[in-house]
Amino acid sequence: MSLFDDDFYSTRVSRKAVRSSEREGKSFSFGKPRRDGSWSNVRIALTSSLVSAVAAVTVFGLSVGFGGGGSVQKVNPAVATVQTGDPLERTIQAAEKVRPAVVSIINEQALSSMGAGADDLDEYGDEGMGLEEASLGSGVIFQKEKGKAYIITNNHVVEDAAAVKAVLSNGEIREASVVGKDSITDLAVLEIDSKGIDVVAEIGDSNGLRAGQWVMAIGNPLGLSDSLTMGIVSKTHRIIPVSLSQDGVFDWEQEVIQIDASINQGNSGGPLIDLNGKVVGINSMKVADFGVEGVGFAIPSKYAMPIVESLMEFGKVTRPYLGVYTMDLEQYWAQQANQTDAENSGLDDEDWLEDGEAAGDGDGTELPPIELKLPKDVRDGVIVLEAVGPAKDAGLAFNDVIVKLDKQPISSTMELRKYLYAKKKIGDKIEVTLYRDGEKQTLQLELGEKAEE
């Protein structure tokens, strides 16, 4: 069954309908004047009405700008396009425009049977170290420059890769290198040789999307390369909480486009295009749950492209760094409520968040039990588990509870991170309001740049 019903969506009128209308319709004619030169009252009235109508239309046309100083009524070009274009043909043309620029991404990792990870390649080299296909994804070529072609994809598509390959639309496999990646926005840029690549995708403006608008997802779902799916924009702006460290603690929020076009494993990193063949988003994720269908998400182009530009220029996204490992006060209260023995008062390393990021391996040091002294009305904030860098230099310490940044209330690690990344820059001064041993204090510090791991 086709997606569109031709009879319903077509703007053409069938010849049969025209002939039927001509047979049933009635012609209105003024006829000829009588031989004696006289006109009937009916004919005079009809002629007078016609002249009056023409005059009224002419005056109105002049007033709205057919010629003169009146204002011209603007027509939404998107609406006009939808009304006059054949939906079936537009989808075909849009797909043909972008498909040659869509590639499949192969993430290769060290053979698990050898007990080696990607880091071991640095020590042993590629020789003698087997690689296997770990995952598949998609990407889109968006730029060609100086003999290189650049591809946008998702960070999770190339995460932990020992080697990355790009498969062109013609089936050719090329070695790819990672220019830069960012786990927070889940974006990455790859580089391949541009020889023989003639098509580069055009980036569109996701700000112009409207709910109900037709869009298409192109990619490599389930290893089926060069696949297209189609649907509508379900919601132009949807906020999705994400756990960057995959520990079940939501420490970031991603603003995405919600679509009902089918998104499956392998579609990640591929383009979401409009019916003009422009990339308006990067397919990123879907809701994978029993009984859930048609709920997919894409990173809007307006958010993706500034990140891509930073990755192209610096190989990373530079962000301000406070230097605190934290735990949400809300989580602490929940633990206290459910605590059954003294052992639960400690924290594992994976519970630590550094400016909202996973703390990593840690040094194995056991934290002393958290015993907070807070006013009864303080229920929201973040607990400092360890201070490093700028925070340590400013005097922040274990068990401090941060409640404000620059007088902006902070109730969670997510809010702390969002404030830093949205409102501050590296080198900016920031005021930290906190409680220490029940006493309210204020510290000033200068935000730094986080060093590479």
Residues taking part in catalysis: 156, 186, 268
DSSP-derived letter for residue 306 is H
DSSP track, 83-117: HHS-HHHHHHHHHHHHGGGEEEEEEEEE-GGGT--
The percent helix, strand, coil of the chain (3-state, each to 5) is 30, 30, 40
- Taking the C-alpha atoms of residue 275 and residue 87, their distance in angstroms, rounded to an integer, is 9
CB 272 within 8 A of CB 300: no
Phi, psi at 229, each rounded to 5°: -130, 155
Query: 123: part of which helix (H) or strand (E)?
Result: helix 120-124
List Cβ neighbours of 375 (8 Å cut-off, separation of 6 or more).
Answer: 435, 438
- Taking the C-alpha atoms of residue 249 and residue 120, their distance in angstroms, rounded to an integer, is 30
- Taking the C-alpha atoms of residue 394 and residue 388, their distance in angstroms, rounded to an integer, is 10
Number of Cα atoms under 13 Å in the Cβ half of residue 191? 13
